[in-house]
Amino acid sequence: MKPFNNSINKLTSLSDALNTIFSEAFRTCGLDSEYGHVTISQRPDLSDYQCNGALAAAKGAKKNPRLIAQEIINIVKDNPIFTSLTIDGPGFINIKLSDQFLMNQAQLVCKGEYATLLSSNSKKKTIIDFGGPNIAKPMHVGHIRSTVIGDCLQRLFKFLGVPIHSDIHMGDWGTQMGMLICEVQSGFPNLPYFDANFEGPYPSESPVTISDLEEMYPKAATKCKSDEKEMLKAQQATVELQAGRKGYRALWQHFVNISVASLKEDFSQLDVTFDLWCGESHYHDQIPEMIKSLKQNNLAVISDEALVVPIEGENEQEIPPLMLVKSDGGYLYGTTDLATIQERVSDFGDELILYVVDKRQGLHFQQVFLAAHKTGIANSQIRMEHLAFGTVNGTDGKPFKTRAGGVMKLKDLISLAKNEAFKRIEEINGAEKYDENTKSDIANKVGLAALKYGDLMHDRQSDYIFDLSKFTRFEGKTGPYILYAAVRINSILTKAVEQKLAIGPITLLNGNERDLLLELCKFPDVILNAYTYRMPSYLCTFCFDLAQQLNRFYLQCHILKEQNKDLQSSWLGILQLCFFQLETTLYLLGIEIPDHM
């Protein structure tokens, strides 16, 4: 494609670029630049974008809005990116972009360097805290949201060139550890871990397996819930563990090792990785010094025999104090969270800390953030955000359960999705030509796409209904539908290469091709909005809209049979850009495209 001389010659948000052009035009007319806001047209049959500011500006300027609109058009009309600027109704400006500009911009969008979209000043050092599984407890359906949302955001931030670390922040140090220690002791009292006089060394092999722990924890939790004495024993064991009792530390380390190995298998199935595998225990040794400093500076005080940080919300909103040390000497989640913030700021210089955690933890994070700022652990330059998400519910509207009524393990959920996808693959015409390994590979990728897209397509803060039958369909707003669109493009491009057809450059545009390029050109805006609002759902909507436009394109354009070679080449060039963009967007969602479907 030949270079196009226009005022937008680098990768940028198209909306931002248009806003700049029209805002400057309003300023030139002596009007507030805010009136130059441009939006996607509500009437795509008339225009690509529209600017409605003349109507709002007319009242203050005491002028006819259509006259203002005409003045604006007169200022911007010579910009070569526009092919048509017209006035509609009481003063709406219809904006039609030139075909040459769209062709140029689509190339920039698909091949551009996205790290340039954000200014260096806005790329704050970031840590994203997500996943949050507990040691000795299997990950369940409730962990899917934190995991896939957090992973999508870490991919998105890296894509935009933001310096970022991801941290799993495991729950490995609370009362549940004391419960498990007591449960193991009740079953195996003669193990050396419980002999206070044992000098070691302790056994290198764990006395329990991950399956044992998964059985033991609910039993121990039930005991403690129904028997106050058992709870006191567990709490005492937790205090002794945290105080450094050697036998308890050795047994606990076994719990951690076998649990982390199991967790890594689960996360590997989801293709999710973490930069840091720190648990709450990692910060334990920093807590005494932190507490000492807070007490010396009168930032932490005794209240009802517990040590707390008194806090207040905005506008003197009443918020409970953040408890740091219980009356029995034990620490709480808030204590660890403060110590975690302290280390993150000290070691990484993080300026932005994101927590991808259930919305029901809202008050806790409000307390922690306020306490961190009040105590100076986080200075005014440090920003912390709780990226709250809703719950996963079954088709009955209640929290998702197994058929037996229990909480479904995440690994079982993944298996269900893959099995359901395999059934769908078997139903596809032509599936019989694939061997079992190929079908299994396709089903794995389709199943994970169904699972991830089914979650990420929803507004992060909303609850949603988990309906695997719906999520694995090949029609509608689903992961398999998007994958099929990508595989279809790849198939056409592969056949084009086999037939030695020319691919690109893009030279000719009719209605359907133009709609595709318009859709592609929205991507920088989508990326920036997903980043700004921490909303993976924007990416899901984009790739669904692009897939729909592709299907309309196929209905009208018989690409491989087209006799006009220039037109065919242009169409193939557009398809190549579309595949590149779908592949990029799906990667950000953590979804891999299979070779066949």
Give the residue carrying structure tokens 């308890």: 248
Q: What is the DSSP string of 71-107?
A: HHHHHHTT-TTEEEEEEETTTEEEEEE-HHHHHHHHH
Q: CB burial class (10 A; 0-12, 13-18, 19+) of residue 304?
A: exposed
Mean pLDDT check: name the lowest of 22-36, 267-281, 350-364, 503-517.
Answer: 503-517
Give the residue carrying structure tokens 């259930």: 358
> pLDDT tens digits for 300-346?
999 999 999 999 766 667 889 999 998 878 788 999 999 999 999 99
> pLDDT tens digits for 533-586?
999 999 999 999 999 999 999 999 999 999 999 999 999 999 999 999 999 999
Within a 10 A sphere around the Cβ of 192, how many other Cβ atoms?
A: 17
> pLDDT tens digits for 30-83?
999 999 999 999 898 899 999 999 999 998 899 999 999 999 999 999 999 999
Asked if residue 2 has pLDDT above 50, the reply is: no
Question: Cα 67 to the chain's mean position, in Å?
Answer: 46
> pLDDT tens digits for 186-225?
999 999 999 989 988 999 999 999 999 999 999 999 999 9
Asked if residue 227 has pLDDT above 50, the reply is: yes
As a whole number, mean pLDDT of residues 134-156 equals: 92
In whole angstroms, what is the distance from residue 574 CA to residue 570 CA?
6
Predicted confidence at residue 3, as pLDDT, reads 32
Counting residues of the chain whose pLDDT is more than 90, the rounded percentage is 78
Higher-confidence position of 35 and 428: 35
Question: What residues have CB less than 8 Å from 223, skipping those under 6 apart?
Answer: 179, 183, 230
Predicted confidence at residue 562, as pLDDT, reads 93
For the chain, report the end-to-end CA distance as a whole number of angstroms: 33
Predicted confidence at residue 426, as pLDDT, reads 83
> pLDDT tens digits for 450-473?
999 999 999 999 999 988 889 999
Domains of the chain with bracketed CATH: 14-97 (3.30.1360.70), 410-588 (1.10.730.10)
Higher-confidence position of 293 and 2: 293
For the chain, what's the residue count? 597
As a whole number, mean pLDDT of residues 130-148 equals: 90
Predicted confidence at residue 404, as pLDDT, reads 58
Q: Please state, rounded to an integer, the average pLDDT across all residues of the chain.
A: 92
Work out the pLDDT band at 6, boundaries 50, 70, 90: very low
**Could you check whether the bond before residue 218 is cis, i.e. omega within 30 degrees of 0?**
no
Work out the pLDDT band at 491, boundaries 50, 70, 90: very high
Higher-confidence position of 400 and 483: 483
Asked if residue 265 has pLDDT above 80, the reply is: yes
In whole angstroms, what is the distance from residue 195 CA to residue 182 CA?
13
Asked if residue 390 has pLDDT above 70, the reply is: yes
**Exposure string over 376-410, b if 16+ CB within 10 A, otherwise e:** ebbeeebebebbbbbbbbeeeeeebeeeeeeebbb
As given in the structure block, the two tokens for residue 341 are 């913030």
Predicted confidence at residue 243, as pLDDT, reads 87
Within a 10 A sphere around the Cβ of 309, how many other Cβ atoms?
A: 24
Asked if residue 141 has pLDDT above 50, the reply is: yes
User: Which amino acid makes up residue 432?
Assistant: E
Predicted confidence at residue 315, as pLDDT, reads 61
Strand pairing category for 352-355 and 126-129: parallel
Predicted confidence at residue 113, as pLDDT, reads 87
